Amino acid sequence: MTKELDWIELFAPQEILRDFNFEKLVEENGIYRIFMVEKDDAAHIPAELKKEVNGDLSKIVLDGYTNYIELQTFPAMGKEVFLYLKRRRWKVKQDQRQEEKSYSNSYSYNEKGMKATKAFGNFLKEIDWV
């Protein structure tokens, strides 16, 4: 395990680390912002897209990224910590006659209506903060 993963595990839940890699850490105005990008491997290509190409991954190309998803997690040393998750967009290699459609994965790292990780959101509920 790398030192990078050692410290990132203090901030990001395992379920997020399973799907995302650390990109960068920015500290500004007493807030830690941890940027992560979705892993680039066959396991993270959306199932719907794999089905469309009958499992032929050579027909799939990266089509950029979605906007970041922002989630607040537990504070560290009195500073707020936010995770920024960037998902990949994928598409089928096109010839000029085909309509382009992008695919991306959906994750459920937060409760509906909350912009916090599930664990942090549950903690806030327990102490009647929300």
Residue 85's CB: how many other CB atoms inside 10 A?
Answer: 22
Contact between 30 and 81 (Cβ < 8 Å): no
In the block, which residue shows the tokens 């395992």?
A: 14
pLDDT one-digit tens code per residue, 63-119: 999 999 999 988 888 899 999 999 999 999 875 556 678 999 998 887 777 787 777
Domains held by the chain: number: 1
| Residue-number span of the structural domain to which 106 is assigned | 3-126
In the numeric block, which tokens belong to residue 44?
């993270």
Q: Which of 1-10, 17-26, 98-107 has the highest mean pLDDT?
A: 17-26
Q: Tell me the C-alpha distance between 19 and 83, whole Å.
A: 13
